[in-house]
Chains A and B, each alone.
Chain A
Amino acid sequence: MAQDDHLIELYLAGKRIASGLRIARPFALTTAHALGPDVLTTKPLLHLRDGTPAQILWGNTPSDLALLRLELNGTTGPLATTTYGEAQQGQAWRATVSVDPKPLTGSVVEPDAVYHDGPHLTVKALRLRCERVLRDPAAYAGSPIEETRQDPPVVLGLLVKPRDTPPRESDEAFAISVAEALRLFDDVTGGRKAEKRTRANQVLHDRGYGSVRPRWTRTDPNRRTRRPSEGN
């Protein structure tokens, strides 16, 4: 199974429109701005590269997130040993995909920054510093970000568009963490149950049973994640 199987690419009528992050077997995230208001309203059926249908469940422009349900029909196996981590200040990260040939990397400036503060909704995000100035930061949105020194990868979140509208040239970027996405979509995905389940998987992993589902980790930037095969 591919190492980056948490990364998905979305196609509409045969044309690639966005990338995204698979957070559980049936659920994936992508950016709302990449889909656009028409797609978010009409909700046409999208497809992954392998032809798996992806249904748009909810789009939310304030958080720039859209939740997708993958129609797997039991044909796709479980995710590999991808894990999801909570970012720490100063932690180094890299984007899983980049629009440039050169990989996009940087560090976490603020793990709990306010991304959107409206009358009915507040969204927190990771405020990131990129190692180079981005001419169009929104173009990089949709890529998962992960810890640099982890193998298998520990995913920290999904890059979203900048807070400023219109976006300007900057070395600042924002990513919504998986925990925040689960909070935002909790009534759909059963966020608390998902978190509980992934934490239970962490226990299994620590006891050397391995993990076949995404699991939840509180990562230490200076500690490499053990492989399941390494045991305790």
Chain B
Amino acid sequence: MHITPAEAAIIGTSLGATATLSAAWITQRATSRRERERRLWDRRVATYDDLMSTLHTYAQLRAHTRRSFDLPELEGVRSEALHSAATLAARIELYSSEPLREACERSFDGVQRWLLAWEEWHEQGPAVRLPSQADGLWKKFTRRVEEAERADSELLELLLADVHGTRRGARRFPKGRNRGISLRKTTSGSSASRRTAPGKNAPRKPDHD
């Protein structure tokens, strides 16, 4: 079979065009994927920001209540806690992993539990309640506070591990959080369907773009 120079030119041009188009399509696809991941990452970080801020607010409130035996504007605080919990849990569910969502739910459940325990103690009345381990309801409140602190610690550990990653053999957060732990710039492979902290230790598959 003879191929004329004109036919060869047409085939060559076609192959070249196909290759160019394919390369452009692949590049475009990779760029779109990176941009989508970056947008997701930005939203996750924004969610984590809000979560950290809320956790710190409640930790301060808890410490104040434990120290001064008083919780001002309880109704407002409780409704804010409920609202924050619902909104943040939904955002965590969208943008993060199952273990982190569960830890978030445990943490907000802890807030509700110590608030309820404080309310129960407080409702005994000013001439009966005692800020003492001798008072069973105060004891219950302090136990709930400790449980909430533990739940917050677990959540923060997962959250920091998701943001900063964990090194093999690294110390547990937050002790080692600023010591040589590199910040991962990509979120590939850490979508909502994957495990968060343990998954970060496993070797990743290289991206195909």
Contacts and interface: CB of A to CB of B under 8 A. Distances in A.
B132 A187 contact: yes
B135 interface: yes
Interface in A29-81: 32, 37, 40-41, 58-62
Interface in A56-114: 58-62
A32 B130 CA distance: 13
Contacts of B128: 60-62
B127 A185 contact: no
Interface in B103-146: 124, 126-138
Contacts of A122: 134
Contacts of B127: 32, 37, 40-41, 59-61
* Size bin of chain A's contact surface: 20 to 34
Interface in A117-137: 119-123
Interface in B56-101: 69
Q: Main secondary structure on chain A at its contact with chain B?
A: mixed
A40 B126 contact: yes
Nearest to B133: A186
A200 interface: no
B68 to A, nearest CB: 11
- Most A CB atoms within 10 A — which of B126, B129, B133, B136? B126
Contacts of A120: 124, 135-137
A186 B131 CA distance: 8
Contacts of B131: 58, 185, 187-188
B136 A60 contact: no
What are the 4 closest A-B residue pairs judged by CB atoms, nearest first?
Answer: A120-B136, A187-B131, A40-B127, A61-B127
A184 B132 contact: yes
A220 B132 CA distance: 30
A188 B68 CA distance: 9
A183 interface: yes
Contacts of B129: 60
Nearest to B138: A187
Nearest to A65: B130
A184 B126 CA distance: 15
Nearest to A120: B136
Contacts of A62: 128
Nearest to B136: A120
Contacts of A121: 130, 134-136
Contacts of A187: 69, 131-133, 138
B130 A119 contact: no
20 contacts: A40-B126, A41-B127, A58-B130, A59-B126, A59-B127, A60-B128, A60-B129, A120-B124, A122-B134, A123-B134, A183-B134, A184-B134, A185-B131, A186-B134, A187-B69, A187-B131, A187-B132, A187-B133, A187-B138, A188-B131
